[in-house]
Structure 1
Amino acid sequence: MFDSRHIKTFHEVVRAGSYSAAARALGYTQPAITQQMKALERDVGTPLFIRVGRGMRLTEAGEALSRHATVILDSMSAAQQQMGALTRLRSGRVRVCAFPSASATIIPEAMARLAAGHPGVRVDLLENEPPESLQRVVRGECDITLAFTYPGLHEHVPDELVEIPLLEDQLTVLLPAGHPLARRRAVQLADLAEERWIAGCLRCRANLLHECAELGFAPDIAFTTDDNLVVQSLVAEGLGVAMIPALVLNFLCHRKVTGRPLQPASRRQISAYVLREHLRIPATALVLDELRTVAANKVGC
């Protein structure tokens, strides 16, 4: 293994043409240059220079090492510049995985703030519902994941992950605009016991079943989809009602539906999850800061 300092000194000796000239250029003494070149020759296992009168020239091994030295020093310089850019947040890439309603609300605002302040930091956006999204962090497929948990379900979070709470998102019921309960300011879940339901992802469906069971009824689930636009369309056509998070109210697309908060209040916890060692990576920490800022201003907080 070569010492990078010796390679740099060797490169300067070749450029300057002598030990004494290299010593002046580098601010070393000539004996120090001589010692470094002897050490490098020991590492190589063969002489690098031969004396020719008062001068010196490279051996065949020296010629070969000289060609490599230029490449090595250029690569080291490029690496130092890239590391400096990463630590000073002029560049970097962060892979973020999020569930659909976060991708439509929290993520765009956070990425816009990031682009304005740090245009060299790029974000790759992936999409998955929990718990699969949590496993993607553990497997190294993303750096940050946004996921949600319901307090009554006690979902498992892998021990390797650090949780950064972002906001509590209130649950609401989505009703056809002409539904009799749409005139109320809030709706009791028990009042919807006879309705047909449109359920969401597996975790949301499990929470719906749990909350209804707590009130003594089993919901009649007619459709299941994790596509928020499909949920809205089904409700708009009077095919059922749905329990949705308040985040979804930010992008309601149908005038034929309306959202009403549930009473008593029911919420889900939205958090970011990372591997502990990733908290020390500047670009990752910056993205987390932007997510916190945006989440703090969201409805449902």
Structure 2
Amino acid sequence: MDPRHLDLLRELADRGTLTAVASATHRTPSAVSQQLRSAEREAGVPLVAPHGRGLRLTRAGSVLAEGAVEVASAIQRVQARLDELRDAPVGSVSVAALPSAAEVLLPELLDRLGHTELDVVVRDVDVAEAEFAALAADHDVVIGHTITGTVGAPSDRLARRVLVEEPLDIALPRGHRLAGRHHLTPELVVGERWIGVPEGYPFDTVVIAVENATGRRAERVQRVRDNRLVEAMVARGLGIALLPRFTTRPRVDVVLKPLVGVRASRRLLALSRRDVAERVAVRTVLDALAEIASDAAHLARNAEDATPGLR
């Protein structure tokens, strides 16, 4: 089969529409449609079928789309063996990361790899949990986070690497009545005013768990995405919030306290297309990210042990 036809079916599986495929591959929708017809003639069976106003892959189309991943991965494994003969990895690696992780991981990544032949291009993104996986179609590495363990389709077609498991703590203004407690429970915090996140964002899952555990509704006075803005609002006494333990900078006016009684942690994940993850350059970036995340967790634990009152 023509590998270009396999790649086209894979792109349609990942992106969902002819228009999106055309845009990503710098072709017109009519050109994409023509190539799909050529692929069907070559395969001898229908590969797409009408679905609403668009198209969906048939069972045969899905088989070939999965085959495209296997073919591309095999090629990249061979290329990786060749690349390993070089003195050092080379090439360009694009990284997209959510802001709360990007601030800690990406400056250190660029610094560590700045003297190498790798060209690392970074981008900060802030999307709902279910939208991180789709970004892997346009970036070599996507750093997202999950509480539920799923990051949206097509995550089952991606390579996943857990960088770190990070607790989510309750953030309180320093003078808050609960700031002196060692830990907090759902019963203690459910009645507070909350600085929340938009619906569908991972941290909201924890607030929902607090509501379910207590049978009470939490009052979300604001829903914002940026953790620095959340910190500032908490510091002014506008409400309490959830903040990640390792990637939140210590502040004298904000106290972080563990939440017990419900699952309150997130996983920072690195997602890549399976064939992309075979590249030596990408593996080098992933190894560095895992080491940086581990170092950040270690430093945060040491800071907590040294100055427990600040956390």
TM range (shorter): 0.5 to 0.7
Deviation at 1:88, TM superposition (A): 4.3
Q: 1:203 aligns with which of 198, 201, 204?
A: 201
Verify: 1:287 aligned to 2:269, yes or no.
no
Q: Percent identity?
A: 26
Structure 1 contact 149–270 (Cα < 8 Å) conserved: yes
Deviation at 1:204, TM superposition (A): 2.9
2:229 maps to 230
Verify: 1:115 aligned to 2:111, yes or no.
no
Q: Find the structure with the greater CA-based Rg.
A: 1
2:164 alignment partner AA: L
The C-alpha deviation readout for 1:56-105, integer Å capped at 9, x for no partner, is: xxxxxxxxxxxxxxxxxxxxxxxxxxx97995436321100111111011
The C-alpha deviation readout for 1:194-244, integer Å capped at 9, x for no partner, is: 111001253135313421232122210001111111101111111100011
Structure 1 contact 93–121 (Cα < 8 Å) conserved: yes
| In 2, Cα distance between equivalents of 1:163 and 1:90 | 21
1:185 maps to 182
1:5 maps to none
SS in 2 for 1:208: helix
The C-alpha deviation readout for 1:260-292, integer Å capped at 9, x for no partner, is: 111136211111111111122121111011011
2:135 maps to 136
Q: Normalised by the size of structure 1, how large is the TM-score?
A: 0.64
| In 2, Cα distance between equivalents of 1:222 and 1:85 | 54
Deviation at 1:177, TM superposition (A): 0.5
Q: Normalised by the size of structure 2, how large is the TM-score?
A: 0.62
Structure 2 contact 133–152 (Cα < 8 Å) conserved: no
User: 273-282 or 257-266, which moves further after superposition?
Assistant: 257-266
User: 257-266 or 221-230, which moves further after superposition?
Assistant: 257-266
The C-alpha deviation readout for 1:154-183, integer Å capped at 9, x for no partner, is: 553412211111111101000011001111
1:99 maps to 98
Structure 1 contact 168–269 (Cα < 8 Å) conserved: yes
The C-alpha deviation readout for 1:95-149, integer Å capped at 9, x for no partner, is: 0011111101122223322224x2x2121111223433321113xx211001111
SS in 2 for 1:229: helix
Q: How many residues align?
A: 212
CA RMSD of aligned residues (A): 2.4
2:257 maps to 260
Seen in structure 2, the aligned counterparts of structure 1 residues 240 and 275 have a Cα distance that, compared at 3 Å, is: same
Structure 2 contact 193–240 (Cα < 8 Å) conserved: yes
| In 2, Cα distance between equivalents of 1:157 and 1:88 | 37
| In 2, Cα distance between equivalents of 1:186 and 1:211 | 17
| In 1, Cα distance between equivalents of 2:295 and 2:90 | 27
1:98 alignment partner AA: A
Structure 2 contact 277–283 (Cα < 8 Å) conserved: yes
| In 2, Cα distance between equivalents of 1:182 and 1:86 | 56
SS in 2 for 1:187: coil
Structure 2 contact 168–243 (Cα < 8 Å) conserved: yes
| In 1, Cα distance between equivalents of 2:274 and 2:196 | 34
| In 2, Cα distance between equivalents of 1:244 and 1:210 | 15
2:276 maps to 278
Structure 1 contact 102–247 (Cα < 8 Å) conserved: no
| In 2, Cα distance between equivalents of 1:84 and 1:146 | 25
